[in-house]
Amino acid sequence: MLKVGLTGGIGAGKSEVSRLLVERGAVLIDADRIAREVVAPGTPGLAAVVEAFGDGVLAADGSLDRPGLGSIVFADPEKLALLNSIVHPLVGTRSRELESAAAEDAVVIHDVPLLTENGLAPLYDLVIVVDASPETQLDRLVGLRGTTEEDARARMAAQATREQRRKIADIVIDNDVPLEALRERVAEVWDDLLRRARDPRAASGDGRPGVGRPGDAGAE
């Protein structure tokens, strides 16, 4: 099994990259989706969030008002840290359960938005960073998701910088490109992941273009 951490800033297009990898046969463990599941109505996770933040974070149907909670925590680092301390252990437990169910020869992609921020790179055989310029991120958040510019900038500011993400990358996928170019790049990366899965000695990088941590020969 090859365990891959996939991350990128909000609006960088990480979800599209994970979708393309799944098309090619990857097993996807989506931390953001799991984060929704562990705070679904009736879960201990939701009860813990309500206890920490009050009933005001609930929607009329009793589910978590994620946009409302987001506007609170992304404007206050201490509140964001509190939320993470509740949700992240639950996500980690569920992620390990799903990983253990994958085939021995699988390429398992852990889609983790806050991989850099939480120092999780050592948990994976290698890390892929989906990279886009801040201008592209902002355009996507405002134009495609309907986020206000103020909220979009606050969410971007609450995450690691572009430089911090690239520093932990074994492979960088540039997503300031048209979809067809992205498809071609993902195909190249997938071939490399398969090679690594078959040969564990290659998992730490071997100097090929786009492979190896920054500072190694051939790093992006």
pLDDT digits (tens, 9 = 90+) for 46-94: 999 999 999 999 999 999 999 899 888 888 889 999 999 999 899 989 9
d(CA 4, CA 26): 10
What is the distance, to the nearest Å, from the Cα of residue 117 to the centroid of all Cα atoms in its chain? 11
User: Would you tell me how many other CB atoms lie within 10 Å of the CB of residue 60?
Assistant: 6
pLDDT value of residue 155: 86
Considering the domain architecture, whether residues 197 and 129 belong to the same structural domain is answered as yes
pLDDT value of residue 144: 75
Considering the domain architecture, whether residues 2 and 83 belong to the same structural domain is answered as no
According to DSSP, residue 148 is labeled -
d(CA 67, CA 112): 19
pLDDT > 70 fraction of the chain, expressed in percent and rounded:
90
Closest-CA residue to 70 (of 168, 145, 176, 163): 145
Q: How many domains does the chain have?
A: 2
d(CA 13, CA 173): 10
Considering the domain architecture, whether residues 119 and 201 belong to the same structural domain is answered as yes
158 and 80 Cβ atoms separated by less than 8 Å? yes
Considering the domain architecture, whether residues 185 and 157 belong to the same structural domain is answered as yes
d(CA 24, CA 22): 5
Question: Which CATH number is 207's domain given?
Answer: 3.40.50.300
Residue 40, domain extent = 35-104
Considering the domain architecture, whether residues 110 and 93 belong to the same structural domain is answered as no
Considering the domain architecture, whether residues 122 and 141 belong to the same structural domain is answered as yes
What average pLDDT does the structure give for the chain?
Answer: 88
